[in-house]
Amino acid sequence: MSGDHEGNAASAGNAGDAVGRTAGWQEFGRRGLSEQESGRRGLSEQEFGRARSGKHEPGSHEAGSHEAGNAPGSEPGGRELGNEVPGNEELGSEEPGNEKVGKAPGGRGQDGETRKTVWVALGANLGIAVAKAVGGGIAGSPALLSEAAHSVADSLNEVFLLASLRRSERPADPSHPFGYGKERFFWSLLAAVGIFVTGGCFSFVQGIEAFQSEESESGSGYAIGLAVLVVALLAEGTSLLRALSQVRAQAKVRQHSTLREIRRNEDPALRTVLAEDSTACLGVLLAILGMALHMATGEGAYEAWASLLIGALLVYVAYVLGKSARAQLIGEAVAPEMQQRIRDFLDGRPEIDAVTAALTMRLGPDSVMLAARVDLVAGLDSEEVEEALVRTKRELRAQWPELGQLFLDVTDASVADRVRARRAREELDDAVEERRQVDAG
């Protein structure tokens, strides 16, 4: 705007401020915004709330920009919308600096249940590791020693998971404005590496050494080893039932089948415990089979094969968990079903003419960021634009409380933008249908 307009805005207070905002949106409508400008001018719900309540300080306005007034106690002078450090917002909180990352209902309760599940698994694995090591040493069983290494690896991983639960609960700060939810993914990645190195590699070494050994024991001293494995199976089964109980409870809340919840669960700690306990039960069964065949035939090769199979099983589980943790660490989107529902919601808004992009990223097991680029219908003035965006954000968070970070970018949609958006929507619908068929099968 011209300098004369700036002087009028400063002297007229809120009236000049409103004129500046209207002129800005008119200019925006005439020429559109570049991607960089639209990113800077993304309108936050917090600033809209202050603007609507009339909390403006006189200040300068440039054509095409909307300057929200300063809340009491903030620094004097204006700022560009969306140019502040992206903080975590809690719906209804208007006090800058006191925002919290949004979480889905029951998020804290689920964390408590997950912590109990991890503690149960840790207690079971520590006791089992000692028993397996003693039994394997007495019997000289490579399969039992492989299982001891497996339990040690699981115990270390449970420690990692407990650390992740604690560290991920830290509130957001200036150095981590989106919070610490991704700590869960990092420690889960370390747990996957631990399974691979401590469990899988040791089991392979035990199996290879058993093949190279020329001794062919009768297995007469293996009774104690089998007894240890039976006790281990009971303990691992108890821990697995605890994890499955939590999964069933979550599936009931989300109205999913238990199998679908296992496939789609976003809690890396629970997913890791579930994978470890399932693998542990299968590994114990393989060790029992190898020892039983050794006792029946006197051939140690059966135990060697059992050790190699246990090692292969652990490597596979480590790969699956590591792949999942890696995807989440580098910015994995939410499930296609949730993306589809969000797009349907935005497309159905009467104020929105087109949704050219709706980008999501998981910030933690129960916290999500959404950045959407929308083109509003023609003819809206500045106040109507503000009200439309505030209302849209409020209703989005009401339907998806896990949307802890929510950004709506208003931009003119070109023909090419609309074509790309239509193509992306078709791909999203195909992905949802494919997952639906997998769940049904």
Q: What is the pLDDT of residue 49?
A: 41
Phi first, then psi, for residue 368 (nearest 5°) are -135, 145
Which domains occur in the chain, in start order?
A: 107-329 (1.20.1510.10), 336-440 (3.30.70.1350)
| Residue that wins the pLDDT comparison between 33 and 131 | 131
* Lowest mean pLDDT across 19-33, 220-234, 237-251, 306-320: 19-33
State the Cα angle at 164 between 161 and 170, rounded to 5°: 155
Looking at the predicted structure, is the pLDDT value of residue 183 above 70? yes
Q: What is the pLDDT of residue 178?
A: 92
Cα–Cα distance, 382 to 400 (Å, whole number): 27
**Would strands 352-364 and 367-376 be described as parallel, antiparallel, or unpaired?**
antiparallel
**Burial of residue 35 (number of CB atoms within 10 Å: 0-12, 13-18, 19+):** exposed
Q: Are 185 and 325 in contact (CB under 8 A)?
A: yes
Cα–Cα distance, 112 to 275 (Å, whole number): 19
Mean residue pLDDT across the chain: 76
pLDDT digit string, tens, across residues 64-94 = 333 333 333 333 333 333 333 333 333 333 3
Given 3-state DSSP classes, what are the helix, strand and coil percentages for the chain, each rounded to the nearest 5?
Answer: 65, 10, 25
Q: What is the pLDDT of residue 31?
A: 36
Share of the chain above pLDDT 90, in %: 32
pLDDT digit string, tens, across residues 302-315 = 888 998 998 999 89
pLDDT digit string, tens, across residues 338-371 = 999 999 999 999 999 999 999 999 999 889 999 9
pLDDT band at 410 (very low <50, low <70, confident <90, very high): very high
Cα–Cα distance, 279 to 382 (Å, whole number): 59
Residue 385 backbone zone (phi > 0: left; psi -120 to 50: alpha; other: beta): alpha
Average pLDDT over residues 106-119: 75
pLDDT digit string, tens, across residues 361-370 = 999 988 999 9
**Which residue type does 84 have?**
E
Phi first, then psi, for residue 138 (nearest 5°) are -70, -45
SS3 414: coil
| Residue that wins the pLDDT comparison between 27 and 410 | 410
| Residue that wins the pLDDT comparison between 322 and 5 | 322
Q: What is the pLDDT of residue 336?
A: 94
